[in-house]
Structure 1
Amino acid sequence: MDNIEIVNTEYGKVKGIYKISALGTDYVSFQGIPYMKAPLGKLRFKDAQVPEKWDHILDATEDSPSYCAFNLITREKEGQENAGTICVYTKNVKPEKFYPVLIWIHGGSFMRGSCKTDVYGPDYFMEKDIILVTLNYRLGAIGFLSLDDESLNVPGNAGLKDQLFALKFIKRNIENFGGDSNNITLFGESAGGQSVHLLSISEQSKGLFNRAIIMSGTAFNKSWCFKMPRKMCRKFNDKLARKLGWNGKFGDEKSLLEFLENASACEIVDETNLILSNEDEFEHGILLPFGPIIEPYKSKNCLIFKDPIEMARDSWSNEIDIIFSGTSFEGIFKANVKDEVAFYYLQDPAYFTPLIDLDLQVTDPITQEYGQRIKNLYYQPDEMPSIENQEAYLRYCSDFIFWHGIYRAVQSRLEFSKAKTFLLRFNVDGKLNLYKSLKKSEKYKGACHADDLFYLFKTIHLDVPEKDSNEFKSIERMIGIFTNFAATGDPNYDDCKFSPQSNINDLKCTEITEKDVKEIDLPELKTLKVWDSIYKDHDVPLF
């Protein structure tokens, strides 16, 4: 029993186990701690509920389960419907002084991913005196179904509300694990980054964390679902139910909900992956069929009640320090995806226009002009998009899907916040760039979307680099930045120097490469200003 730790939580005792990290450090692992009641049957689409207390010692020594999803790395389906759990990792459950706490929210397009250690191993973080907490939340249609009928009580964003429910549980219980409940940093990447930003601008989460790190995704990335009209929500709801065998009347949400409550969770996942059509993506600019959305009515737990741009202006988080970050070549993740389809549509410049954000149709006359201005940023005047010049399309995807949202969020902070705002650009091109290698796109220089994850977390898919390698030095830098910021609010670490942003027109960033770290002018700034000009010309608020 010497390798076991037992900790009290408000719902019952949990048993963790001592492990040795990949770097040889002892730590205690608690995995699969329930923070919510199993969302089964009538609870499948409802807001998180308090779990039942247990009178035994809960075994938290095995890897946490995941929700039903498709694993992008293994290319296999995995998970179960009851996976509302957190994991806690610490070197000491009874430190002399409470440890700072880092809470991680995973990405995956709000459709996949989990807190399992196959991707998010805590090993590198365990070199520091901090506590790392990771969590699961409901995904896809199960996490983000949104219905108009108020009597059904499914306004949407259940997955985000799971995260909020978990934060409250962590806040109430983390001191039992040795964590400082008054020094919590929330961080996440991609869909997780957008989640962190959304939570930071919602009054519901006020006081639950003290600073944030928002990676490769913000609440200002509108094509991720926010601007989707209600009629499109209804269309996707109907399309999903019919693919699963429902034959009810369009608009009969009560019948649709009852059907989906009894459908197979795994089949819902399968069909959700097939819902988005080429027309939805290219003609309407919608990248996700189910995700965070402005809720159709205000409920007790309403998280998003209006445009996030408006929410951010007077948000409580304007009083806390935040790091925004992105990778140098986010768009590589789109390499070899729908190539022929994408290049078919992109022969028409109109498709370069951020249609849904500007509330435009492809056929609107002004759309051609805006699209041509954006296309000219990436292609020569007479150059047409093709597989041969795919890199230009990937650069466009980097800015459209990620960097313009990051830029707008930073601008919002500079306009409305007096707290510190830092900007990190991850440009390490090394052997741990897993997603880039999965795309077989090593020919492109830079870091792909999500490549930064593997310089923070140990994954079973990659070996730990040698300690004298550039990759290991990059791990030390990233862990140093994140844990210093979590402990003190200061991201400066060793040779990694940060200055708070102060000038919208002259953004700097701290750029990490495989060789060094420098404060430089943001390389994307000139291009992003052109994107801004189109919003201004069309009288659409940027922030």
Structure 2
Amino acid sequence: MGLVVETKYGKVEGFSEEGINKWLGIPYAKPPIGKLRFKRTEKCVPWAGVKETKNHGNKPHQFLDTKLTDIPASEDCLFLNIWAPREAKDLPVFVWIYGGAYSIGECSDPNYDGTNFAKDGVIYVAFNYRLGVLGFYDFSIYDDSFDSNCGVADQIEALIWIKENIATFGGDSNNITIAGESAGAASVINMLAAPKSKGLFNKAIAESPIPGCVHNHYSTKLNMNLFLKVTKIAPGEVYKLKTLHPDEMKHAAEYLLFNNCNLYPGIFLPGPVIDDLIPEHPIDAISKGCAKDIKLIIGTNDDDGALFVKVEATMFPSSWEQVRKMLELNHCIDKLEDLHQLYDGLSENKQMKELAKDRAFLIDSIKVADRQSGYNSTWMYRFDYAPILTRLVGLKSVHGVEVPIALDNLGRGVIRRFWKGAPKKVMYKLRDDMHTAWVNFAKNSDPNRDLDMYWPNYNAEIRATFIFNENNRVVMNPSEKNYDVWNDIKLYID
């Protein structure tokens, strides 16, 4: 296979590095700029000649104060990257969807480099999608000239492009695994439930997803009203956002992310909404068999909540006073004593971290696994290992710590710093176990091969969960008490 490849929209020229062929910055959709701001994705415009794809494309505008790379941010950001072995032909395809609270992230982040997947004989693809105000804030509730779920539309269009074009890069279009972490993992769950994504992939991996972060009209309006209040834009004047620079939106977006929970404890950050792209809550759709053709790996980290509960800025309740308010607002105050008993014996800070984990990540992940396992092969895991650095700062097996392990990128990206000083023997064993399981799944539809112990299929009766740690083990129904308490707590549903 040459480095000039003809896609459905035109020819692209990549380059070879480390024995791997790479194409960086391939446009997969029409730039969502000008009149296409706040509109759903449109098909890519074909080009003449050969487009050079040797550098990352622009990253999306970021809506949290962070800096992952020096790549310029732009609304013209709908690009994807491909890594492939030389002479690739009919190889399995692994598609990564980045996380970042639907507010930050980019496929050019070194954490998401695909070199080592390609070395393992897998085509690796990562793509950008619009974030924050431009991608996931729903102003259509005020003005129907705005579209909802623009970021979701980006993700679907990227998957369509990959399905239609990946064979020319050496991939098997009938063997595609989508994967992601955090909001990226939630996006994976959303793709399971999105009718327009049906047939675009065969397998899915969700690392610490937030499956419940899909808003109805009620919770959407609570978030959007707060955002508009900070921007000093009246609901009837949301058209002003169509010409406002994204940097002028950022302050209000950050305020919303860290203050909506003060007003409405337990509410999720802005994200996808129920509409024609996601017609019903993904957990409900999955329970009806909408993803019956998809095999799934899903799991969480044992300390997923530690990153989100702080003294001041927090995305989840940070005190029992807020927990009480959360339950009162949602007409389930009778659950307060059950929650107290569930976390009894822990410090209040640890109680809030555990509550955040259960609320956002663990319980809904179990619900997804319970329902999907009734239709197709499902595997569940928990990542328990805490590197020395995260232990020292009290984060332990923190949200995202497994990403460089799973993607075999311990030498790249910001997250690798979590692993500074970790014993190499343990670190590389975890990498070999988890990354190998992901590669096995992409290749063979089963994570089992070369693991030090068998990872059994999950079902709702015994809930077999593979524990990744210094010494791996399998535990049956490890979160039974937590699930029983949280199962029927309904928050912001009306």
Taking structure 1 as the reference length, the TM-score comes to 0.81
> What are the superposed Cα offsets for residues 465-509 of structure 1, whole Å, 9 maximum, x if unpaired?
9996211121121221111111111110311421111233x3111
**Is the Cα–Cα contact under 8 Å of residues 308 and 316 in structure 2 kept in the other structure?**
no
| Mean CA deviation greater in 486-495 or 130-139 | 486-495
SS in 2 for 1:116: coil
The 1-side partners of 2:117 and 2:83 are apart by 9
The alignment yields a C-alpha RMSD, in angstroms, of: 3.1
Distance 1:171 1:337, change over 3 A: farther
SS in 2 for 1:7: strand
**Is the Cα–Cα contact under 8 Å of residues 192 and 282 in structure 2 kept in the other structure?**
no
**Is the Cα–Cα contact under 8 Å of residues 484 and 492 in structure 1 kept in the other structure?**
yes
The 1-side partners of 2:182 and 2:38 are apart by 23
Letter matched to residue 271 of structure 2: G
The 1-side partners of 2:158 and 2:169 are apart by 15
Letter matched to residue 502 of structure 1: N
Task: Give the C-alpha shift of residue 182 in structure 1.
Answer: 0.5
Taking structure 2 as the reference length, the TM-score comes to 0.89
Letter matched to residue 291 of structure 2: S
Out of 95, 114, 118, the residue aligned to residue 110 of structure 2 is 118
Distance 1:391 1:195, change over 3 A: same
Letter matched to residue 33 of structure 1: I
Distance 1:328 1:280, change over 3 A: closer
SS in 2 for 1:47: coil
Out of 478, 483, 490, the residue aligned to residue 523 of structure 1 is 478
Residue of structure 2 equivalent to 1:238 = 228
Letter matched to residue 517 of structure 1: N
Distance 1:486 1:428, change over 3 A: same
Out of 293, 316, 333, the residue aligned to residue 273 of structure 2 is 293
1:321 aligns to 2:295 (yes or no): yes
Residue of structure 1 equivalent to 2:372 = 413
Task: Give the C-alpha shift of residue 352 in structure 1.
Answer: 6.0
SS in 1 for 2:255: coil
The 5-angstrom pairing of residues 36-435 of structure 1 reads: 36-69=29-62, 70=64, 72=66, 79-92=73-86, 94-95=87-88, 97-148=89-140, 152-219=144-211, 221-222=212-213, 225-226=215-216, 228-236=218-226, 238-239=228-229, 241-242=231-232, 246=233, 250-252=234-236, 255-257=237-239, 259-276=240-257, 278=259, 280-281=261-262, 283-288=264-269, 290-295=270-275, 302-336=276-310, 338=312, 345-347=319-321, 349-351=323-325, 353=327, 361=329, 364=331, 366-367=332-333, 369-380=334-345, 389-414=348-373, 417-430=374-387
The 1-side partners of 2:314 and 2:456 are apart by 43
The 1-side partners of 2:313 and 2:244 are apart by 33
SS in 1 for 2:379: strand
Letter matched to residue 456 of structure 1: A
SS in 1 for 2:242: helix
SS in 2 for 1:306: coil
Letter matched to residue 363 of structure 2: H
Residue of structure 2 equivalent to 1:299 = none
> What are the superposed Cα offsets for residues 182-225 of structure 1, whole Å, 9 maximum, x if unpaired?
00011111111111111111211110001111121143x24x64
The 1-side partners of 2:278 and 2:376 are apart by 23
SS in 2 for 1:209: coil
Task: Give the C-alpha shift of residue 230 in structure 1.
Answer: 5.0
Distance 1:19 1:340, change over 3 A: closer
Letter matched to residue 181 of structure 1: S
**Is the Cα–Cα contact under 8 Å of residues 139 and 238 in structure 2 kept in the other structure?**
no
The 1-side partners of 2:318 and 2:380 are apart by 36
**Is the Cα–Cα contact under 8 Å of residues 296 and 378 in structure 2 kept in the other structure?**
yes
Equivalent pairs, count: 485
Residue of structure 2 equivalent to 1:28 = 21
Q: Percent identity?
A: 25
The 2-side partners of 1:239 and 1:475 are apart by 46
Distance 1:427 1:277, change over 3 A: closer
Task: Give the C-alpha shift of residue 389 in structure 1.
Answer: 4.2
Task: Give the C-alpha shift of residue 281 in structure 1.
Answer: 4.4
The 2-side partners of 1:75 and 1:134 are apart by 15
**Is the Cα–Cα contact under 8 Å of residues 342 and 481 in structure 2 kept in the other structure?**
no
**Is the Cα–Cα contact under 8 Å of residues 438 and 447 in structure 2 kept in the other structure?**
yes
Distance 1:213 1:47, change over 3 A: same
The 2-side partners of 1:477 and 1:447 are apart by 17
Letter matched to residue 338 of structure 1: E
Letter matched to residue 312 of structure 2: K
SS in 2 for 1:509: strand
Task: Give the C-alpha shift of residue 103 in structure 1.
Answer: 0.6
> What are the superposed Cα offsets for residues 90-142 of structure 1, whole Å, 9 maximum, x if unpaired?
112x33x4100001111011111111133212233233110000011000110
The 1-side partners of 2:235 and 2:404 are apart by 44
Out of 413, 416, 422, the residue aligned to residue 460 of structure 1 is 413
The 5-angstrom pairing of residues 463-482 of structure 1 reads: 469-482=425-438
**Is the Cα–Cα contact under 8 Å of residues 189 and 450 in structure 1 kept in the other structure?**
yes
The 1-side partners of 2:7 and 2:178 are apart by 21
SS in 1 for 2:49: coil
Task: Give the C-alpha shift of residue 152 in structure 1.
Answer: 3.1
Out of 379, 382, 392, the residue aligned to residue 442 of structure 1 is 392
Q: What runs of 5+ residues in structure 2 fail to find an aligned partner?
A: none
The 2-side partners of 1:183 and 1:477 are apart by 22
SS in 2 for 1:152: coil
The 2-side partners of 1:397 and 1:149 are apart by 29
